Chains A and B, each alone.
Chain A
Amino acid sequence: MSEIPIKPPQIPNLVIKQITWHVKLNEFIEEGHDLCTLICDVPESSSSLLSQIIHMPVYKTKTFKIKSTASGSLYVLNSAEEAQQTSILCKIRQKTLPNFSIGADSIDKCKHEMEFGGMCAFCGYRSNENEQADIEKLHCGVTGRNLKFNEDLAVALEHKKKQKLLKEKKLLLVLDLDHTLLHTIKGSSAKPNIHQINIDGIVFSTRLRPHLDFFLENLKDKYEFFVYTKGSRKYAHQMMKLIDPHKEYFGERLISQDDEPGESGKSLKILLPKDNTMVLILDDTHEVWPDSPNLVIADRFWYFYDELSDIDKKIMGENDHLLYFMKDLLANIHDSFYMQETADVKNILKQIQGNVLLGAKIAFSGMIPIDIQPEMHPLWQAAERYGAICQREVTEETTHLISDGSLTKKFKQAKRMNIPVLHRTWLSLSVSYWYWLPESQFTLENINNLDIRSLLPTSLMRQLSIGSPVPSKSHTSGESESDSDSDLIDSKSDSSSSSNKNMADCAREVNSTSIDSKENKQEKGAVKRANASQIPKPAKKVKFQDNSELKI
C-alpha cells in the first residue's frame, strides 16, 4: 500500500483561493480522472511593466483543472486553506494486489498495522502468542469487533467516528446485559412474561427489564448503542435475539467476555482508545468500571427472586421502572451535549447529578447506626452526591426527615414542625432514578399503598397494563384528562404506522417535560412552613399531574 499526494501546480507564490471537488472521500478513482477545479492567484512574471512600476508582484486569477496521477481510493481531501498550508490537495491510497503466497519477504514488507483476532489483517501473519508483539496495538471497537490498530490508525479512526457522531447528532451508549437490561437464571420458571432459552443443553429463563423497548426506541436517534457484557458470546447472542430480533438497535455492536478473555474489568478503551467525551455507560456493577466518570449506575434488576420485602415488591421486578427514568436522563444529557460548544458528557453527567436533589436538606432518624459517622453512611453520601445537604439534627431549614418510624426525638421534632417524614425508599429511589420523586406516596403513612406505576404517564401505564391489570386506584379522574390528550395525538398521526403509535405517544408526552431548572429546585427547598400541614407539592407537576394531588 502506498500513498500518492496530489499537489497543486508548482508555481512559486501561488495562492489557492477556491477548490471545487468533483470527487468524494473514499471514492475510487483512476489515473487521469478529473479531481477538482482550482481558482488561484498566480504572480505574473516580474518583468511585467506594472510590477516594475509598483515594485510588487502582480497577481492574476487563473483556473486549473487537476487530474489524478494515480489510481486508488481518495482518503484525504483538503480545503483551500489546508491545501495552501500543506501544498497537498488530496492523497490517494494506491491499491496493489496483495501477494498471496505469504513468504518471509512479504511479511518483512508489511508493517502489520492492523490486526484481526491475532493475525495481521493485511498479510495474515500470525504473531506468535508467546512472543510479545513489537508494538502494542490498540482496540477501536467502534470500528469493528476483534480489530486492533497501531496507535496512529486507531486515533485516526476514533476521530472519524467522532466526526460521524457529531454529524448525526448522536452519542455512544454502552449497555450492560445482566441485571441492567435483563435478568437471567439457570433453569425454568413459572413466572409470567419470561423467555426460555437453551444454551448447550442447559435451560435458562430470562426476563427483559420493563420499559426496555421504550428505552431503546426513544433513544435510538440520540445514541448509538453497544452491549458490553462479561457473559460469554454464545449467551450474549441469545440475549441479543430477545432484545433486538431485527438488529435494528444494536446491529453487530456487541462486546462479550470472548473479546477480552482473562480480563475481569471493563474498559472504554476497547471501544475508543483515547477520547471518552461522547460515551456513556449504563451498568449495575460499578466495580467492573474502576474510576469511570462516564458511568451511570443502574439499580440492579431482579425478577426471579421471591424473598422481597413488601416495599421492594412495589418497586422491583414487574414494577421496576428504572429504564423509563434512564431514558429521560440520557435524553437530557444528549440534548445538553449538543447545546454546548465544547461539551464533555462527563461534566454534564456530574452537573445533572448535583442538581437532582439540589435544595433538599435531609435529616435521618433511626437509619444510621450510632457507632458510625453519619457522614460515612451510604445514604448520606448518596444524598450529598445528588445535591442534597444532609444534617445531623432537625432544624428550621430541614425539608425532609428520612425515618424508620421509631419515635425518636428527631421524629417528634419533625412532626411538630410539620416537616415531611419519609420512608428511605423516597431517597434511594430518587437517587437511582436521578429524579426528585414526589413525596406524597412515600410518607410513612402512605408507603404501604405506594403505587410506583402512577408516576408514569397514563398512556404508558395503559400499555404496561396489558397482561397484568393496573390496580384500580390508578383509574381516577386524572386519567380522563390525559386520555383526551392522547386521542388528540392519535388523530393527528393517522399516517404513522400503528405498531409504533403507542410508543410515539409516550415519547411525545414525556418529551414535553424537560428537566427541572435550578430555580425550581431552590424554590422547592424553601417551601414555606406556614403551609406545612401539606406536603410540598412536587415541582414536576406537569408530569405527575395524574397522581400527586389525588393521593394526598
Chain B
Amino acid sequence: MFFILSLKKNLKLTPEYLGKRINKHLANLLNSAVEGSFDTKFGYIVKVLKHEKIGEGKVQDSSGDVLFPLLYKALVFMPYKGEVVDAMVSQVMEVGFTATLGPMSMFVAAQNIAADYYLEPEARPHPRWVNKTDPSKTIQVGGDVRLRIMSVRVNGNEMMGVCEMSEAYLGPITV
C-alpha cells in the first residue's frame, strides 16, 4: 500500500555550496538521495512531496562540511503481510513463479499455488501454469496475477516478498 510519511534525512554539504542557492541545492540533493531508495523500516520511497523544514546546519570539525537535518513528506510504497496485490508475472518455473510489482520482486512456490493449477513445462515461449477446470486461466510471463503477501523483506537495493495464490479470488487477472 502507499503511504504519505514524514521522514527525516541528514545531508552533508561541502563548503562550496554554502551560498544563496543553498536551499535549492539541498532540495535537489535530497530528491536524488532518497527517491528510488529503500528503507528497511519504511519501504520504497517513491517521491518527495514536500520539503518541510531544513534544520540548523552543523559544521563538521575536520572537513568543513556542513550537516543539515531535513524534514520532508514523501510518498512511500510499503507492502505488508496479508495485503492482496496485483503484479506482473516475470518468470515461470517448476518450483513456482516470480512476479514483480514496481520495485518488489515476489515469489510464489508451487506448493502455494491453488491445487487445481498444473505446470505445462513444455509450453512456448515459456513454461506456464494452467488451471485444470478453466484452461483460459494461465499464469504466464507478462500476465497479470493477484497474490497475497505472506512476508516482505528489504535486502540492500531490492524489496522481496513471498506470496501465495491459493485462495478463490487470487490468481490470473483477465481484463
- Residues in chain A within 8 A of chain B (CB atoms): 1, 26-28, 71-73, 95, 97-98, 100, 102, 114, 116-126, 143-147, 157, 160, 200-201, 232-234, 251-252, 258, 261
Are A233 and B158 interface neighbours, CB within 8 A?
Answer: yes
Can you report 21 A-B residue pairs in the complex whose CB atoms are below 8 A from each other?
A28-B117, A73-B118, A73-B119, A95-B111, A98-B150, A98-B164, A100-B167, A114-B109, A116-B109, A116-B162, A117-B153, A120-B162, A121-B107, A121-B109, A121-B162, A123-B150, A126-B151, A143-B94, A233-B157, A258-B156, A258-B158
Q: Return B117 CB to nearest CB of chain A, in Å.
A: 7
The distance in angstroms between the C-alpha atoms of A72 and B113, with both chains bound, is 12
Tell me the bound Cα distance from A95 to B119 in angstroms: 14
Given A26-B94, A145-B98, A233-B158, also A100-B164 (CB < 8 A): yes
A72 to B93 CA separation, bound complex (whole angstroms): 18
Most central of A117, A144, A233 by chain B CB within 10 Å:
A117
Q: With A98-B164, A120-B151, A146-B105 given, can you name 9 additional A-B contacts, CB distance below 8 Å?
A: A26-B118, A71-B115, A100-B167, A117-B162, A121-B96, A125-B151, A126-B153, A143-B95, A252-B91
Check if B155 is an interface residue, CB within 8 A of chain A.
yes
B6 an interface residue at 8 Å Cβ cutoff?
no
Given known contacts A95-B111, A200-B32, is B160 in contact with A116 (CB within 8 Å)?
yes
Residues from chain B with Cβ under 8 Å of A97 in the complex: 115, 166-167
Which one of A72, A73, A124 lies within 8 Å of B162 (CB-CB)?
A124
Report the tally of A-B residue pairs with Cβ distances under 8 A.
Answer: 111
Given A100-B164, A200-B32, also A258-B157 (CB < 8 A): yes
With an 8 A cutoff between CB atoms, is B60 at the interface? Answer: no
Minimum C-beta distance from A512 to chain B (A): 30
Contact with A98, one of B132, B158, B160, B166 (Cβ below 8 angstroms): B166
Is B116 part of the binding interface, using a Cβ–Cβ cutoff of 8 Å?
Answer: yes
Question: Which residues on B sit within 8 Å (CB–CB) of A160?
Answer: 94
Asked whether, in the complex, the Cβ of A28 is within 8 Å of the Cβ of B36, the reply is no
A28-B156 contact, Cβ under 8 Å, with A1-B111, A100-B150, A122-B109: no
CB distance from B157 to the nearest CB of A (A): 6
What 6 A-B pairs have minimum CB-CB distances, sorted nearest first? A124-B151, A117-B160, A124-B150, A28-B118, A95-B115, A116-B107
Asked if B143 is at the interface of the complex by the 8 Å CB criterion, the answer is no
Interface residues on B, range: 35 or more
Q: Do the beta carbons of B132 and A28 come within 8 Å of each other?
A: yes
- Determine whether B146 belongs to the interface, using a CB cutoff of 8 Å to chain A: no
B148 with A100: CB separation less than 8 A? yes
Task: Closest A residue to B122 by CB, please name it.
Answer: A24
Q: Judging by beta carbons under 8 Å apart, are A144 and B36 in contact?
A: no
Chain B residues near A146 (CB, 8 Å)? 105, 107, 160
Decide: A27 and B118 in contact? CB cutoff 8 A: yes
Chain B nearest CB, measured from A112 CB (Å): 11
List the B side residues contacting A98 at CB < 8 Å: 111-112, 150, 164, 166
Main secondary structure of the interface of A (DSSP, over half): loop
Select which of B90, B151, B167 is within 8 A of A252 by beta carbon.
B90
8 A Cβ contacts from B18-59 to A: 32, 36
Min CB distance B81 to A, Å, is 8
Contacts of A144 in B (CB 8 A): 91, 93, 95-96, 98, 107
Structural contact, A114 and B157, CB atoms closer than 8 A: no
Instruction: Please provide the chain B residues from 101 to 127 with a CB less than 8 Å away from any CB of chain A in the complex.
Output: 105, 107, 109-112, 115-119, 121, 126
A243 to B33, CA, bound (A): 29
Tell me which residues across on chain B come within 8 A of A120, comparing CB atoms: 151, 162
A48 CA to B81 CA, complexed, in Å: 68
Instruction: Answer whether A143 and B93 are a contact pair too, CB < 8 Å, given A26-B119, A28-B118.
Output: yes
Q: Complex formed: what's the CA distance from A28 to B91 in Å? A: 20
> In the complex, how many angstroms separate the beta carbon of B43 from the nearest chain A beta carbon?
15
Contact B95 A114 (CB under 8 A): yes
Expressed in whole angstroms, the minimum distance between the Cβ of A251 and any Cβ of chain B is: 7
- Tell whether A26 pairs with B153 under 8 Å between CB atoms, given A97-B166, A160-B94, A252-B90: no
Chain A residue at minimum C-beta to C-beta distance from B132: A28
Residues of A within 8 A of B167 (CB): 97, 100
- Residues of A within 8 Å of B160, CB to CB, are 116-119, 146
Alpha-carbon separation in the docked complex, A334 to B95 (Å):
28
Q: Collect the chain B residues with CB atoms within 8 Å of residue A102's CB.
A: 150-151
Q: Which residues of A contact B157 (CB under 8 A)?
A: 232-234, 258
Q: How far is the CA of A126 from the CA of B156 in the complex (A)?
A: 16
Q: How far is the CA of A261 from the CA of B105 in the complex (A)?
A: 17
Tell me which residues across on chain B come within 8 A of A234, comparing CB atoms.
157
Q: Are the C-beta atoms of B98 and A117 separated by less than 8 Å?
A: no
